[in-house]
Amino acid sequence: MSTNQPTPRDLHRIGAQIYNKPWAITDEYMDRICGIFEHAKQAGSGAVHPDFKSLDDLFDVAGTSRTVKGMTAFPGGKEQSEFARRIAMIQGVAVIPVFGVLTPRASWMDNVSDLTSYEQLDRMLSDALAVDPSAIALEIDSPGGNCLGLEEIAARINELASMAATPPIIAVVNPFCASAAYYIASQCNSIHIDPSGMIGSIGTLCRMTYQPLELHTVKSAELKTIAQGSMSLAQLEDIAASVRTFFEQFRNAIERGRPRLDVDAVATGQMWIGQGAVEAGIADQIGGLQGVIDTYGDDEFDDDGALEMLYQSESDYTVL
């Protein structure tokens, strides 16, 4: 039996973080998290089940479409440490990775696991601005994340994007931007999406459990989940109130960042692909990271010098 398998105490702690809390995440990803957790909870002593000792570990087991370890996230960019979640400089464009599940607080796990914290994202924005880039690109591949702390980082991005002295902040959907990730993207100056990129899942949910095998979902819109057996909002009014409160924050943030968008028309929980997202108004144009570099890049920008200023040692982003 692996020493990293969860103990009953671990399961109790992790379950308290998953259930009865508001999330802005795809229902499919929440199903994956809950499925792994429930399997471990029911497996019993000595049974084979995935290794995780914390919620961060569980996100890592559940995975998303990319991982950090050994990944070259930035084509054409300066090679970074194999394990570090870092800013890349490409012809003066500061590229900030927003990958995996989004969580409120930073930890050493952010650098090697499938998640990004709002705390870490805030620091990377400040660091990127310190080297006076020609633009900032948030490269996004995320199913969403926790509602707690989300409005604060979104408001910070909106404030920066609204300042004339700040370089353009561009959200690049590569290839998945859902729920909390869209909350963040909507605060940027513009949103670029690959032809096959997916974006949307506007809404909030809270997964409830009262019995070990009985799960229920409170949702902000019918298309937010297709799960069967979901409780009605009337049955869980206290939890539903928090879901509605965070959804209103989500809605207001989109109106703040994209005032021309009819939020009610798109806040259905559904996803859009490429050109369909542009036509729906939730993205601005087709094009990936290379298009942002072609538009805003400066061949004479000292990328190496900027990186040296940002990263004086290998441990800069190990503990935040």
Strand 198-200 with 190-193, pairing: unpaired
Distance CA 291, CA 300 (A): 18
Q: Which pLDDT belongs to residue 45?
A: 46
Structure-model confidence comparison of residues 272 and 233, the more confident one: 272
Structure-model confidence comparison of residues 18 and 256, the more confident one: 256
Quick one: tokens of 216?
Answer: 């229920």
- The verdict on pTM exceeding 0.85 is no
Structure-model confidence comparison of residues 17 and 27, the more confident one: 27
Residue 85 CB neighbour total at 10 angstroms: 24
Residue keyed to tokens 């561009």? 170
- Which of 247, 201, 213 has the alpha carbon at shortest distance from 34? 213
For the cut 90, the answer to whether the pLDDT of residue 182 exceeds it is: yes
- Give the highest mean pLDDT range of 61-65, 87-91, 229-233, 252-256: 252-256
Superfamily for 88-203+251-310? 2-enoyl-CoA Hydratase; Chain A, domain 1 (3.90.226.10)
Burial category of 227 from C-beta neighbours within 10 Å (exposed 0-12, middle 13-18, buried 19 and up): middle
For the cut 50, the answer to whether the pLDDT of residue 128 exceeds it is: yes
For the cut 60, the answer to whether the pLDDT of residue 68 exceeds it is: no
C-beta of residue 68 within 8 angstroms of C-beta of residue 83: yes
Residue 289: how many CA atoms within 13 Å on its side-chain side?
23
Q: How many helices (H) and strands (E) does the chain have?
A: 11, 14
